[in-house]
Amino acid sequence: MNHPRMLGILIATTMLTAGPSVLAAGDVAAGKAKSAVCASCHGPEGVSPQPNFPIIAGQYQDYIVRALKDYKSGERENAIMKGFVANLSAQDMKDLAAYFYSQKGLAAPKTGNP
């Protein structure tokens, strides 16, 4: 039996089953430090006080990273966001995603009569 090959298979299997948090780890503290520019529209913790800017607090990390990449590539069109993401690295995006994911989002709105 080839032990190095088995070790490689074991590591690959573990990473695939562990999920995106292991593959795309961001640093919450670094994300907080990088988030100051985001606060003007999305609020300091990602809860926008204005209805025309999305609440990103509590949003899934992979969603935030994908959105930032799409703004950077032009897949999503928004001149303001394109300017903000132009100089973000992949790690910057992961860090921002980790920070906003760690923040408490708003509770889902209640529907119907109480």
* CB 95 within 8 Å of CB 34: yes
* Selection from 85, 91, 88 nearest residue 26 by Cα: 91
Q: What is the CATH number of domain 26-102?
A: 1.10.760.10
Between 9 and 85, the more confident residue is 85
Report the pLDDT averaged over residues 30-49.
94
State pLDDT tens for residues 55-105.
999 999 999 999 999 999 999 999 999 999 999 999 999 999 999 999 998
Report the pLDDT averaged over residues 8-30.
61
Report the pLDDT averaged over residues 2-7.
54
Taking the model in full, what pTM does it have? 0.72
* pLDDT-based confidence at residue 15 (cuts at 50, 70, 90): very low
Task: Say yes or no to pLDDT of 20 above 70.
Answer: no
Instruction: Using alpha carbons only, give the angle 92, 22, 53 rounded to the nearest 5 degrees.
Output: 45
CB atoms within 10 A of CB 44: 14
Give residue 17's pLDDT. 47
What percent of the chain is modeled with pLDDT above 70? Answer: 72
Q: How is the chain split into domains, by residue range?
A: 26-102
Report the pLDDT averaged over residues 17-29.
65
